[in-house]
Amino acid sequence: MTAQDNSASFEKLDKNSLVQQVADTLISAIVNGRLSPGEKLSESVIAKQMGISRAPVREAARLLESKGLLTYEPNRGFFIRAITAKELDDVFELRILIETTAIARFVAQGAAPYIPLLEQQLEQMESDAHHTDTQAHIQGDLEFHRIILSHCGNARFLSTFEQLAQEIELSVMLIGQLYADPLFLAQSHVPLLQAIKVGDADLAKATMQRHLQEAREHVVSQFT
């Protein structure tokens, strides 16, 4: 056992590394549009504003580069990545490929234990729909899909999905909203949940295909 697991133990204080803090700050700045696509990211400016040295800023930037939020040009520095509609469409195509396979496996190997999780997440989305926080809507949506991917039997599907999801979330945030009626987003997951409950892998796969294809067209067409 580790040092202490008494009933009255302290939750481990997340000593988020400085790099992680910088990365989070930059992500929210990008997502909120305080940093615009194509814009240059000056290491020294960021460092000075945050009151730290350039080293952690650089590492955070490299991290975001690997996540697809920044691009890097040797001797020129980091830039906010400007995603094109074509790139976003390509991302969705790969996402569909992965998720349709994932849900089929998810259902085929017995999804019953996870149905409560999915129902709970759906309720969460429905209650969030009353608010105007677009980011909460997106993240609720992605979380629903994450549950399926987490239990499909292929961890690689999940990690690859995370990369795609990051770019999709960013793109949707730049658009400003997903659907005029956020409740529609939540309800579009009902058929998925039903297909899962039925336990028909092929049906679930087809439903996911339709679900994501619809989202793809909706999002990409709005993304100028």
Partner DNA sequence: GTCAAGTAAATTGTCGACAATCGACAAAAT
Partner DNA sequence: ATTTTGTCGATTGTCGACAATTTACTTGAC
By the criterion CB under 7 A, which residues form the site for DNA? 15, 17-19, 40-45, 52-56, 58-59, 74-78
Q: Please, what is the minimum distance in Å from the beta carbon of residue 38 to DNA?
A: 13
By CB under 8 A, is residue 12 in contact with its own copies?
no
Residue 7 neighbours by CB under 8 Å, 6+ apart: none
Rule CB under 8 A: say whether 200 interacts with its own copies.
no
Which of 152, 146, 77 has its CA nearest to residue 110? Answer: 152
* Minimum CB–partner distance for residue 78 and DNA (Å): 6
Minimum CB distance to DNA smaller for 40 or for 86 = 40
Cβ closer to DNA: 4 or 224?
A: 4
Percent helix, percent strand, percent coil in the chain, to nearest 5: 65, 5, 30
CA distance 27 to 112: 36
Residues 6+ apart with CB under 8 A from 64: 23, 26, 27, 70, 78
Query: Site map for its own copies, 51-90, x if CB under 8 A?
Result: ----x--xx--xx--x-------x------------x--x
Phi, psi of 9 (to 5 degrees): -95, 160
Packed helices 201-222 and 155-175: angle between N→C axes, nearest 10 degrees: 30
Residue pair 80/39 in contact by the 8 Å Cβ criterion: yes
Q: Which is nearer to its own copies, 80 or 91 (CB)?
A: 91
Closer of 28 and 84 to its own copies (Cβ): 84
Residues forming contacts to its own copies in the complex (CB under 8 A) are: 17, 55, 58-59, 62-63, 66, 74, 87, 90-91, 93-94, 97-98, 101, 154-157, 160
